[in-house]
Amino acid sequence: MGEEFYSIIKLVSGEEIFSLVSIDENDGDTNLILQNPIIMKMIQHRGGMHVKIKPWIDLSDDDIFIIKSDKVITMSESRDERLIEIYTNFIEDTDEDINFSDTNECYTRPSTDMGYVSSVKEARKELENIFNKEIQENQSSD
């Protein structure tokens, strides 16, 4: 097994993953050994650029994955300290077990700051009032 390095990998499936990688060459077969591979996406937002991160394989308990080299289009070693820090922070944060039964604890109630204006029931009532008012104005002008 070779030396470990951080790498951005483009797979033939179109996926781009970031991982700590080592290369394993056995009998002319080259495999990549990935530790905690993640998907990073750059998202443009009015507040600036953000990075969305998620595990490459969401429901797996495994940390190490093996990919045959013929499934890789290209890979680039990354020495970008910001990317490596984001990666290591994400891995450290997700090492804690997640209890899926407590999902309601993470629920955030929408607010007007988030764009929440009213409930569906309130909005429907308001739109019906506007519609009825328009009908009345059109009938009185006829």
- Which pLDDT score, from 0 to 100, does residue 74 have? 95
**CA separation for the pair 4, 23 (Å, rounded):** 8
What is the C-alpha to C-alpha distance for residues 54 and 58, in angstroms, rounded to an integer?
8
Q: Which fold has domain 5-107?
A: SH3 type barrels. (2.30.30)
- Residue listed under structure tokens 């530790």: 35
Residue type, 57: I
What length is written for the chain? Answer: 142
Place of tokens 């309130």: 122
d(CA 10, CA 19): 11
Query: Quick one: pLDDT at residue 121?
Result: 87
> So what's the pLDDT on residue 114?
67
Q: What is the pLDDT of residue 23?
A: 92
Residue 100, pLDDT score: 45
pLDDT digits (tens), the chain, 142 positions: 678 999 999 999 999 999 999 998 887 788 999 999 999 888 887 878 888 889 999 888 889 999 999 999 999 999 989 889 889 988 887 655 544 444 445 556 666 666 677 778 888 898 999 989 888 888 887 6
Token digits of residue 25 = 């060459």
pLDDT value of position 103: 46
